Each structure stands twice: as structure tokens, then as C-alpha cells.
A = this chain, B = another copy of it.
């Protein structure tokens, strides 16, 4: 039914030589006469020969494939990371197997297992929101299996982590709001078990303190789902409740910031005149919104690139875990737009 791919054997048969000669001819071994090489390559070309990567994998116990495990493909940030991963991997001759966990712990474990069966050369992981236990990672790390974590990284020894400077990004964002004259700044936080969220909150807190503003815990609100509807309601309710209204929002991500914008609009507040808003991630939408949304740019593509480069270097033994200063922290950049520009 399905037509067979030509193999090295077919070439050998056709030329009446041994398969080892063919193999060597194709790889330009010096010991093979240039005449044979020429003939072999001709036939290979003619039969449209492609080496069977599976056989190669088996022989070499290397698959030239890396496994990527992320919570959700449909997420601007992650898709930019994937793009970076794919770029580096393919340029260095590696394939990328992709699975998403949909934020489920069980799927994370089972995905890792099937990939292990597939003789993956290494993993790139950003773990799920449900993941609190890291044993499935440590078991692999103990066996010297190459893993690079990115964005959502675990707090375990010997893990190579590539992250964005969430703390500094949040610090800069908050400082920017303060410098624009905003004083009572809400923080819409994420789940604290995610380090990234924790760090963003810490940046917010430190920025306030550094500018002599006392931290009001009631202004720190958790938005666990991270969707606009949720944060809209939270902000709306808070404003109804408080007598002295806040004058700014620093949101843990752009979607949450958008919800805050919606709430403000419905409450009749002007952005940025009455309320300043800053998001996090710098999605495409930021520049499209009205007013455009100030946000902290996370270099997703670069994270993918950097993390993959390290992983491949580990796989190819060009470096070792103890030579890597983990975490690798990539710079964020505050993209100032209209939602927070009160002074000119």
C-alpha cells in the first residue's frame, strides 16, 4: 500500500557493494574511493534516499528530538517561547515534540513518561499550575537527564532555570506609576505558588517601600484565573467598597489589566487621568487598546532561544549543569504607553 522508502541496502544492492561501504561513502569516509562515493551518491539521489532517523536513533541512543512541555499553547507568551525553541532546535538539527498539560499535574507526569519512552534527548518544561510536587523532575535530574525549565520554574537544586526578571519588571512598572504621581496603587496578583507571580508581587512591594509608600494589604488582590472578567469584577467591587479610591493598578498580566480597564470605564473613571494602569507581558493587544496599555515586555522568543541553546549544549556535553549559573535571568523592558502617562 504505502510505498517504501529506499534504504542503504537498496543502494548497496543496486551497486553490488556492501552496505557498510554505502554507509561510509555517504559520510565521506576517507577510506572510500572517490569513484565509489560518486556512484553511491548518484544512486542515493536517484532513489531519493533519506536516512532513517529512527534506525539512527536506535543505534546511537539519541533521537535528536527535544520534548517541550507547557501548560497551554494558546497563550501569547508561550507561543512566542515555542517559536524561539523551534527556531534554535531546527537550526541545530533537532526536532521538537510538543505537549500541553492544560495545567494538569497528571498530564504533566504522563507526558513526561511517554516522551521518555520516545528517547527524547532532553526536556524543556514550564510546569502546570497544579504542580506542587517536583519528584517527577528530581527523579530525572538525579539520573542526569537534561532538563531546562523556563518561566514557571521549580525551586530545586541543580535545576537549570531560564526566567525573566519578574521582580525588576514589576519594580520598574510600579516605580513608573509612582513617578507619574499615582499614590494608591492596587496590585492584581496571581497564584502565589508560581514563583513568577510571587516575584512580581515582591517587586511591587519593594518599589512602594523604596518610595516611602506604606503597603496596604487590602490593595493586593489575587486573580487566580487571570481572565478579564474576573479582574473586572474584583476591581469593580473594590472601588465600590472603598471610600478613598485607588488611583492606579499594576496588574500581574495584560488580561487582568484589561479587566481593570473595563471596570474603570464602567465606573466612569478616565484612564490615565483618574487611574493609571500597567500590565505585564506586553501582548500584541497593548498597542491596540484605547488607551494603549503600558506593559512590561517579557522576551518570550529570547527565553525560548536561550533555554534551547543551553539544553542542546547540555545534551551535546558542551557544558555541564554546574557550569551554568542558574537561574539565567533575562531583562524585561517597560513599554510606556498612554494608560499610565499622566505627566508630559
Which residue numbers of A lie inside 8 Å of B, CB to CB? 1-3, 5, 50-55, 57-58, 63, 65, 72-76, 79-80, 82-83, 86, 90, 95-100, 111, 113-119, 143-145, 228, 258, 262, 265, 284-285, 288-290
**A118 CB, min distance to chain B CBs, angstroms:** 4
Contact yes or no, B53 A55, CB < 8 A: no
Contact yes or no, B65 A74, CB < 8 A: no
Contacts of A1 in B (CB 8 A): 144
A101 to B52, CA, bound (A): 23
Give the number of copies in the complex.
2
Contact yes or no, B55 A97, CB < 8 A: no
Contacts of A75 in B (CB 8 A): 79
Contact yes or no, A290 B289, CB < 8 A: yes
**A148 CB, min distance to chain B CBs, angstroms:** 16
A61 to B334, CA, bound (A): 52
Q: Which residue of B lies closest to A98 (CB)?
A: B98
A284 to B76, CA, bound (A): 11
Contact yes or no, A74 B79, CB < 8 A: yes
Contact yes or no, B79 A117, CB < 8 A: no
A228 to B115, CA, bound (A): 40
Contacts of A2 in B (CB 8 A): 143-145
5 residue pairs bridging A and B, Cβ less than 8 Å apart: A1-B144, A53-B118, A54-B54, A95-B118, A285-B288
Contact yes or no, B3 A118, CB < 8 A: no
Q: B53, B73, B116, B117: which contacts A119 (Cβ < 8 A)?
A: B53
A209 to B258, CA, bound (A): 40
Contact yes or no, A54 B285, CB < 8 A: no
Q: Which residue of B lies closest to A290 (CB)?
A: B290
A57 to B59, CA, bound (A): 13
Contact yes or no, B97 A65, CB < 8 A: yes
**A233 CB, min distance to chain B CBs, angstroms:** 15
Q: B5, B74, B99, B143: which contacts A96 (Cβ < 8 A)?
A: B99
Contact yes or no, B73 A79, CB < 8 A: yes
A2 to B60, CA, bound (A): 13
Q: B79, B96, B143, B285: which contacts A285 (Cβ < 8 A)?
A: B285
A111 to B90, CA, bound (A): 9
Contacts of A97 in B (CB 8 A): 65, 95-98
A63-B54, A144-B1, A285-B288 in contact; A114/B95 too (CB < 8 A)? Answer: yes
Contact yes or no, B79 A83, CB < 8 A: no
Contacts of A80 in B (CB 8 A): 74
